[in-house]
Amino acid sequence: GDYAIEVIDNVTGCTSIPVSDEVMEVPTRPDFESSASGGNINNTVCDPALAINSGSAYNGQVQVDIVSGTLADYTIEWYIGTDTTGAADFGGNPYQNLQGGTYTAHIV
């Protein structure tokens, strides 16, 4: 598509002369899959009462798997719940030692 780009100085209000640019290539949309597990074992400590009573840490895990492309090309930020505003709770892949719940991945 065709784009017109101009720069505006917020202090003085001065505006540059618009420059036209055409982007011919449509980027390939990455393809991801998500998974949740307890690693090599069942997620046996997803209940807070079990973790407290057994003295064990949570052992849940969520991760994003790349279907096409390379994981190193992306930054993965994890949030507890569905709200992705503010600072991420964890950066990387996989997100481990989790209790049962909702986790949202923001992929950049």
35-50 core/surface letters (b: 16 or more CB in 10 A; e: else): eeebeeeebebbeeee
Q: How many residues does the chain have?
A: 108
> Residue 42 pLDDT > 60, yes or no?
no
> What average pLDDT does the segment 32-40 reach?
68
* This model's pTM is above 0.85: no
> What average pLDDT does the segment 55-70 reach?
76
What band does 104 get if pLDDT is binned at 50, 70 and 90? Answer: very high
- Tokens 């011919």 correspond to what residue? 24
Q: Do residues 48 and 99 make contact, with C-beta atoms less than 8 angstroms apart?
A: yes
Compute the distance between CA of residue 24 and CA of residue 2 in angstroms, rounded to an integer. Answer: 9
What band does 102 get if pLDDT is binned at 50, 70 and 90? Answer: confident
> Residue 13 pLDDT > 60, yes or no?
yes
Element (H, E) at 66: strand 60-68
pLDDT tens digit sequence for 65-92: 878 777 788 889 999 999 998 999 999 9
**Token couple for 90:** 């964890």
Q: What is the DSSP letter of 44?
A: T
